[in-house]
Amino acid sequence: MAARESYFWHKLHSLTGIVPVGFYLVQHLTLNSFALAGPDAYNSVIHFFEGMPKHVLLVLKYGLVWIPLIFHAVYGLFIVNRMSPYTAPKAKGFRENRYYNLQRWSGIFAFIFLCYHMATTSVAGSLYGVEKTILYDNWAAHLSAGFYSVLAFYVLGITASAYHFSYGIWNFCIRWGITISEAAQQRMARFAQGAFLALTVLGVLALVGFFYAPLAPKGDTMQADSAPAQSNFQTT
């Protein structure tokens, strides 16, 4: 029974890393990149979610995001605690062992980053209101705090999250029997590397958008929309 349960939970952990958690990461970074088009474009994303029916927001926030994300993170820490990499000298040079180590360390850092991120967005937004927390001007000020130490932390957090998800795609395809041959696994490894670079660049560009918005309409004052609003679901 224990082995069967381990197999099931490992499978579920692998699946949630792709859907919905991985999908959420991609759309999250994509929506945040609207900051490159200026405050109006970014704030319009916030207001879109605010305008959705409350019951739909609750399903999206808890059913499709929070619960799968918490399960994936907590069970992932359980896996890290129970497993250890190969320590033989020859094994250290193996591609799989390098992937393994980076996957575990990036997952731990991503977990810490997400705890901070959720506390300063969803939790703070619920407590203090969107207009004081996650609109464009708030985020520009937040990221520049501490001599841009917050910005640096976000760059590292996005990089870790992008790697963890990208490697997860490679691992998922092996675990679910999608890539069986060595050639197929090599092709998926190259795809994962490309996904890691693309997501990292997308996430960093989204951060840049809060300081410089090259896609903003001409004459945009770069000031955030000050219209008051209350939200149950945040995109940042």
Between 227 and 157, the more confident residue is 157
Place of tokens 């399903």: 59
Q: For the residues of 141-162, what is the DSSP string, one character each?
A: HHHTHHHHHHHHHHHHHHHHHH
Q: Is 72 exposed, middle or buried (0-12, 13-18, 19+ CB in 10 A)?
A: buried
Residue 236 has pLDDT above 80, yes or no: no
What is the tens place of the pLDDT at every residue in 116-151? 999 999 889 888 888 888 999 999 999 999 999 999
**From CA 49, how far away is CA 56, in angstroms rounded?**
10
* Residue-averaged pLDDT of the chain: 86
Q: C-alpha angle 159/98/7, rounded to 5°?
A: 90
| 173 — pLDDT class (breaks 50, 70, 90) | very high
CA 38, CA 53: separation in Å to the nearest integer? 26
Distance, in Å, from the CA atom of 73 to the CA atom of 76, rounded to the nearest integer, reads 5
The predicted-structure confidence for 177-189, as pLDDT tens digits, reads as follows 999 999 999 999 9
**Token reading at 79:** 């896996």
pLDDT for the residue 108: 94
Distance CA 161, CA 167 (A): 10
Per-residue pLDDT, 54 = 87
Place of tokens 């996957």: 103
